[in-house]
Structure 1
Amino acid sequence: MDSQNAAVNGADLSPAEFTSDLHRSDFPKSFVFGTATSAFQVEGATHEGGRGLTVWDKFTYTPGKITDNTNAEVAIDHYHRYKEDIQLIKDLNMDAHRFSIAWSRIIPDGIGRSVNKEGIAFYNRFIDALIEKGIAPYVTLYHWDLPLTLQDKLGGWTNREIVEHFAYYAETCFAAFGDRVKHWITFNEPMQFCYAGYGSGYHAPGRTSERTKSAEGDSSTEPYLAGHNVLISHATAVEIYRSKYKPEQGGSIGFTVDCEWPEPLSDSTEDKEATERRRAFQLGWWLDPIYFGDYPVQMRQNAGDRLPHFTEEEKLLLRDSLDFIGLNHYTTRWVTSQQLPSNPAERNYWVDQGVLTTAEKDGVLIGEKAHSFWLYIVPWGIQRLIEYVWKTYKAPIYICENGMDEFNDPAWTVSNFAKDSTRVKYYQEYLKHVHKAIENGADVRGYFAWSLLDNFEWAAGYTSRFGLYHVDYSTLIRHPKDSARWFSQFLEPKVANPSL
C-alpha cells in the first residue's frame, strides 16, 4: 500500500479537470475538512470482538432485500485494516474523520447493562490512532445499526422504552471516549431509518403495511412513533452529556439530518406550498421541535392524530438540545403539489406530504445523473439548503455527508474506477457553493466527504461505489481514485513564493 499512498501524495495533477479556482485557504482558518464512514458499512467482523447482531445483519440475511444478495459480514474489513485506512485519510490532508460506533459492539443486545470490553478497546485503539495522525474524531452514536434484540423484544424505535437503553449506551460512550472525542452526533439521518425502516420497508428492520414485503408494520403510524422516540432519545442523551460530561470534557453535541433541496416545479402557489411542505417533512420534522417547540404545522395538518404530541416536560427537554446541525446533502428535486387521498388506509409519511418530486422539467433533467436512482448532480442545491437552514434555525452547520456514486460495473478495471472525473467535478462545484453560502453569512464550520472508501451501500449492497478510494472486494486492496488525488492537492497547504 505504500506505493498506492505515494500515488496520492506524489502525483502532479496538471489536467484541466483537476484545476480549481478554490483552495482550502479560501475557507475560514478554523474550517474542518474530513471524510466519513459508518460502522456497519465498513467494519465487517460481525461475529468478532463480542459484537451482537443488528437489524441490518438480519435484513441482509433475508433473501431479496439486498440488490446483489450480499451482506456485510466482511464489508471492507475496516475492523482489521483501520490503521491502513487512517493513513489513507492522512494522505488526503484531511483534518478530521467522522465515523460511527456500533451500538452492538458496546452493548451487544442493546438492552443489558454489561459493557463489552472488547468493543470499548477497539474504539479506543481507533480513536487513539486517529489522534496520533493529527486527525480529529467526530463520532456518530447511531448510524442505523440497531441491536437486533431491541427490535425483536421491544419493537425497536416504536417502543418508548428504547429511550432509556439509548441513553445508557450514549453515556457509556461519553464516559469511555469523551476525554478525546470533542464532537458528538447522536443520530444520523433519522428520516431514513424511521420511514425506510418502519414505513416503506426498504431498509432494516423492513416493517411496512405492504404485506407483500412484510408480515408486520403500520406505515401510517410507525414512522412518526419511531421519530418521536428518536427525538426524545436525542434530547435525553444531550441532557446527560451537558450535565455530566461537557463541563469537564468541553465538547459539543449535534444531530445530523438529511435533505434533498426541494425546488418548486412552477411559480404556482400550489407548487410553492408543496415545496414548503416537503421541507417541513424533511427538516422541520426533526429541527422544529428542538428550536420551535413542536412539529411543523404542515405535519400536524396532514398527519393529524397519527403524529404524537410532546408533553410540556418533553418540550423543555428538547428545547435547544443542539450545539450544531449536521446536514447530509447529495441532490435536488423539483416539487409539485399532489392531492391527498381521501382513503385513510392509503396515508403514510410519504403520502402525507402531498407532493410529487421529479428530476425532470420540460424534458430536461435537473442535473447529470449519478448511479443511484435518486442522485442527480445539482451543485446550487447545497447552497440554497445551507442558507435556508441558517436563516431558519441560526445554528452552526457541519456538512456531514456529500458525495456521489458510480455503478460497480464488473467489466471495469481498477483503472476505470480510478478515473472518476465526474466525482472530481462534483466536489469542486459543490464546495464552490458551500463557499458561497459562507460568503453570504452562513455559519458553516466543516465539510465531510462521503465516503472515504467504497463500501457496503445498504440495500444496494456492493453495486454502488461512493468512495474516494476504490476497494477491490475480492482482495480488499485500496486504490486511490482521481478524487482522492484531487482532495490531497486541494487541501495541501499553500507554500509562499520565496521570490515575492
Structure 2
Amino acid sequence: MKSNFLWGTSSAANQIEGGWQEGGKGPSVMDALATVNGHRVENDNLDDQNLFFGSHKAVDFYHHYQEDIRLLAEMGAKAYRMSIAWTRIFPTGLEEVPNQAGLEFYDRVFEELHKHGIEPIVTLSHYESPLALAKDFGGWSNRKMIELYVKYAKTVITRYSKLVHRWITFNEINCAQVPFGIMSACGIYMSISDKRNTSQLRYQCLHNQLVASAKVVKLAHEIDNRNQVGCMIASMYTYPLTPKPEDVRANQLSMQVKNYFASDVMIRGTYPGYIKRYFKDHGINIEISDEDQKILEEGIVDYYTCSYYMTNCVSTNKDAEKTSANLISGLKNPYLQTSEYGWQIDACGLRSYLNEVYDRYQLPMMIVENGLGMHDTVEDGQIHDEYRIKYLRQHIKSLEEAVEDGVDLIGYCAWSSTDLIALSTGTISKRYGFIYVDVDDDGQGDFTRTKKDSFYWYSKVIESNGNTL
C-alpha cells in the first residue's frame, strides 16, 4: 500500500454513542426503534420501561470517547470513519439556532482524534434523521427535508472546517430503495409491512437525498476548497446463479438498479437510461425538476466509498435456495461458506467489485465498512476471535490484489472499532468490534472495554502497512 494509506475503523453515532437525551440531543428515528424478540419495532413511547431501545445507551461512546479514541491510537489507526448525530445539532431539525452542547461534544471528539494523529472521515447522515421530521413531514419523502439537511450540513461543515476535510453525505444511500430502509435510510416513521411503503415512495425519498447530497457537495467546496466529499454505497454485489442468459440479464439489471444507480447519479450527475426504463416498466413516476437536474450536474462527489460484507446470486428461478443478507435477502451461492448468521463470505468478490467500480468511475475509492459479526466469548478476560481475523485477512489480501490491478484505493476502515448496536436488531450479541464492550442485549453491564485478539492482529497489519497479515 502507499505510505499514506488510511488504515482505520468505522462506526455510526446511533450504534455507539448512547446519551440519547443528554447534551440537548433530540430523538432520531433510530431512537424510536425498540427490540422485541430480536426484531426492531416502532414505538411512540420512548420511555416505556418494558421495551429495550438499543440506541438509548448503545456502548456509551458519549462518555467513553476519550478512552475509545486512545485505544484506536494504541491500535495505530490512521483514520476513523464516524458520523455526527443530526439531532445533537438540531434536536428536531427545525431549529434555526444549533444546539451548542452538541457542537461542543464533536469539538472535543475531533480535537481528541487530532491529538492522536487520527483523521476523521465524517458521515453527515447515517440512518438517523430527526424523529420529529419523520412524524411531521414524512421524512425524505418531503422535499422540505432537502433544505433542513443543507442547513445542518452547512452548520457542521463550517464549524469543523479546520478539523475535518473528508465528508460523506449519506450512509449506504442506495438502501433507501429497499423496504427495510423506510425507517432508517428514508427517515419515515412507517413499518416495512405498511401498504404505503411502496417503490414509488422510496425512490422519491432517494431522489430527494440525491439532490440534497449534490447541494452539500457544492456547498462544502465553497466553504473550504480542501474539503473532499464522497458517496457511500452498500455493496450489493451479485453473480448470475447460472450461465443461463436470462440469469445473466437479471443479474445485470439487479446490479444496475440496486448497486449502480445512486452512484451513477452522484458521480455522473444525471439519471442513467436503464433507471428511466426501470421506472417506466414499474409505473414509478419521480418528481424531478429542471433545477434538480442542474443541481445534480453541479454537485458530483470527489471519491467513492462503500460497505462490503458479502455477495449473493440472482436468478429468474423463483424456487432457488435463499440465504440471509445485509438488509436484503439473496440466493445461495453453492461455492461460498457462510457465517453463523447465514451471510456468505466472499473475499474474492471484493477484488472483483473494486475492479468493476473503479473501471466505471475512475475515482479514488475507500472501503469504509467491512467486518464479521459473530458471538464472542470472554475466556479468562480474553476474547479469542480467530474467525474475525481470518475473515479480515482474506478481505485485506483481496483489496491488496485490487490495488495491484490498478484500483486507486486510498483507505480501509474496518467495521467496527468497538462492539456496537446492530442496525437490524438493536442488540449487541452479534459483535463486530476489535474492542469488546461489557454490555448485553438488555443494556446491562459495566461498559468495560477489552481488546480482542483481532485488536492486536490489526495493529500489526497497520504497523506493517498491510505486509504482515
With structure 1 as the length reference, what TM-score do the two structures score?
0.82
Counterpart residue number, 1:343: none
1:449 pairs with one of 414, 434, 451 = 414
Task: Tell me if 1:316 matches 2:294.
Answer: yes
Counterpart residue number, 1:429: 394
Counterpart residue number, 1:334: 313
Give the secondary structure class of the aligned counterpart of 2:294: helix
Cα 1:201–1:117, aligned 2, differ >3 Å: closer, same or farther?
Answer: closer
* Structural mapping, 1:368-383, within 5 Å: 368-373=337-342, 375-383=343-351
Counterpart residue number, 2:40: 66
Give the secondary structure class of the aligned counterpart of 2:33: helix
Counterpart residue number, 1:230: 209
Separation in 2, partners of 1:169, 1:415: 46
> Does the 8 Å contact 2:79/2:118 carry over to 1?
yes
The percentage of counterpart residues that share the same residue type is 28
Separation in 2, partners of 1:356, 1:152: 28
User: Pairwise CA RMSD of aligned residues?
Assistant: 2.5
Show structure 1 runs of 5+ residues with no match.
Answer: 1-26, 340-354, 495-500
2:245 pairs with one of 269, 272, 295 = 269
* Structural mapping, 1:284-323, within 5 Å: 284-304=260-280, 305-308=283-286, 310-319=288-297, 321-323=300-302
> Does the 8 Å contact 1:198/1:206 carry over to 2?
no
Counterpart residue number, 1:398: 366
Cα 1:227–1:62, aligned 2, differ >3 Å: closer, same or farther?
Answer: farther
Deviation at 1:283, TM superposition (A): 2.4
> Does the 8 Å contact 1:60/1:69 carry over to 2?
yes
Counterpart residue number, 2:454: 483
Cα 1:144–1:132, aligned 2, differ >3 Å: closer, same or farther?
Answer: same
> Does the 8 Å contact 2:34/2:52 carry over to 1?
yes
Give the secondary structure class of the aligned counterpart of 1:326: strand
Give the secondary structure class of the aligned counterpart of 1:360: coil
Separation in 2, partners of 1:202, 1:228: 12
Separation in 2, partners of 1:269, 1:453: 45
1:14-66, CA deviations, whole angstroms, 9 ceiling, x for partnerless residues?
Answer: xxxxxxxxxxxxx1112111110110100000110000011111122788743
Separation in 2, partners of 1:418, 1:204: 36
Counterpart AA for 1:377: I
1:80-103, CA deviations, whole angstroms, 9 ceiling, x for partnerless residues?
Answer: 000000011011111011110000
* Structural mapping, 1:64-213, within 5 Å: 65-66=39-40, 69-197=52-180, 205=188, 207-208=190-191, 210=193
Separation in 2, partners of 1:314, 1:395: 23
2:431 pairs with one of 465, 490, 496 = 465
* Count of paired positions: 439
> Does the 8 Å contact 1:199/1:217 carry over to 2?
no
Moved more, 273-282 or 57-66: 57-66
With structure 2 as the length reference, what TM-score do the two structures score?
0.87
1:345-372, CA deviations, whole angstroms, 9 ceiling, x for partnerless residues?
Answer: xxxxxxxxxx9831233xxxx4332243
Task: Tell me if 1:35 matches 2:5.
Answer: no
> Does the 8 Å contact 1:453/1:467 carry over to 2?
yes
1:113-139, CA deviations, whole angstroms, 9 ceiling, x for partnerless residues?
Answer: 110000000000000000001111111
Separation in 2, partners of 1:445, 1:472: 33
Show structure 2 runs of 5+ residues with no match.
Answer: 42-50, 319-327, 440-444
Counterpart residue number, 1:8: none
Deviation at 1:225, TM superposition (A): 0.9
> Does the 8 Å contact 1:139/1:183 carry over to 2?
yes
